[in-house]
Amino acid sequence: MATAINGKDLLVFIGSNAVGASRSCSLSMSNSLISTSSKDDGGWESVIDGKKNWSVSTEGLYAYDDANGIATAETNFIAGTSVTLNWREATQASF
């Protein structure tokens, strides 16, 4: 069984730089369904799995200076360049 982590105990990292301290965090996962209903289903809907998606959101504080990388992340976002974010427990690094 996975260990529960309080969302307020997470830091947001870009690479090895802590750029934000989370106050709350949520993870959402969903699966779209594709209808396979036909007249032979007796009026019942029939579905199969479709595409899956997920999202993570956080509310918190961040350091807006390039020493921590958030300004670079914003520049990359505007330019359409990929940025990898990581969430780790606050006990694993300081902010």
Whether residue 44 is contained in a domain is answered as: no
State which residues form the domain around 13: 7-27+55-92
Contacts of 32 (CB under 8 A, 6+ apart): 50, 51, 52, 53
- In a domain, residue 42? The reply is no
**pLDDT band per the 50, 70, 90 thresholds, residue 95:** very low
pLDDT of 92 reads 54
pLDDT tens-digit series, residues 20-70: 777 777 889 999 999 999 999 889 999 999 999 988 787 877 766 666 667
- Residue 30 near residue 52 (C-beta atoms within 8 A): yes
Q: Decide if 2 is inside a domain.
A: no
Residue 46 within a domain: no
Quick check: is 20 in a domain? yes
In a domain, 12, yes or no: yes
List the structure tokens of 25.
């965090």
Specify the number of domains making up the chain.
Answer: 1
The answer to the question of residue 63 being in a domain is: yes
Residue 37 belongs to some domain of the structure: no
Residue 26 in tokens = 């949520």
Instruction: Kindly report the pTM of this predicted structure.
Output: 0.47
